[in-house]
Amino acid sequence: AQRVTQPEKLLSVFKGAPVELKCNYSYSGSPELFWYVQYSRQRLQLLLRHISRESIKGFTADLNKGETSFHLKKPFAQEEDSAMYYCALRDANSGYALNFGKGTSLLVTP
Amino acid sequence: GAGVSQSPRYKVTKRGQDVALRCDPISGHVSLYWYRQALGQGPEFLTYFNYEAQQDKSGLPNDRFSAERPEGSISTLTIQRTEQRDSAMYRCASSLTPQLAGGPPDTQYFGPGTRLTVL
């Protein structure tokens, strides 16, 4: 069975502070991990994926297989980063289904 | 271009009624997915189509739920004899290419969702 855990339901930081959204997974195989974001009144959208090794909107995420983690980080949070963030794991056995964590609501205050 | 669209955006129905939720994927997208998201939870996979073929319906909770995509484009998720526990956000997503086991993941583009409330 595979599972994605986001231990924080709500994370509040001040503008300019570093932010780390935690994601841990359990999966017996080579995981494919994603971060999705939902801004207020907008649809769920892909933020980044681990295979791309890219930085989007200043966010990065590194897959740590030893710790089975895929934490999302940004050195200096901005107010526009306030949103709901979901970590997701792709079921490589099926090739399509995304397994989502429960999400973390990030609030960046001035 | 237009993204994934879903209708209705909000649906309130009485327990026992049938509802049909529609998803219009991005033009040309082969794969279509349905997810359900209960309050305070992440989206949960329901079913998946490649073209018109339903590849996997293992996530459908019970036989009151069904989905179709007869022409390989628009899809309808139908819930018969709705119950209060069916209340949730129903999300549809599409991706350009067929998703195969072991193949590279294609980005899933989500629609705005349909908020279903069963009274």
Tens-digit pLDDT profile for residues B31-80: 999 999 999 999 999 999 999 999 889 899 999 999 999 999 999 999 99
Using an 8 Å CB-CB cutoff, list chain B residues near A96.
Answer: 31, 33, 48, 55-56, 99
Q: Is the dihedral of CA B39, B41, B43, B44 positive or negative?
A: negative
pLDDT at A56: 85
Q: Is A41 on the interface with B (CB under 8 A)?
A: no
Q: Which of the four pLDDT bands, split at 50, 70 and 90, describes residue A14?
A: very high
Whether the pLDDT of residue A66 is over 80: the answer is yes
Is the pLDDT at B1 greater than 60, yes or no?
Answer: no
Shortest CB distance from B56 goes to which of A49, A94, A103? A94
Beta-carbon contacts of residue A93 (< 8 Å; ≥ 6 apart) = A29, B101
Q: Is A32 helix (H, G, I), strand (E, B) or coil?
A: strand
Whether the per-residue pLDDT at A12 is higher than 70: the answer is yes
Looking at the complex, report in whole angstroms how far the Cα of residue B104 sits from the nearest Cα belonging to chain A: 8
Which residues lie below 8 Å from residue A86, measured CB to CB, with a gap of 6+? A6, A35, A36, A37, A38, A44, A100, A101, A103, A104, B42, B43
Q: What integer pLDDT is reported at residue A54 of this predicted model?
A: 79
**Alpha-carbon distance B24 to B118, whole Å?**
23
- Residues 6+ away with beta carbon under 8 Å from B62: none
> Is residue B83 classed as helix, strand or coil in its secondary structure?
coil
Whether the per-residue pLDDT at A69 is higher than 70: the answer is yes
Residues in B closer than 8 angstroms to A102, CB to CB, are 40-42
In angstroms, how far is the first alpha carbon of chain B from the final one?
Answer: 37
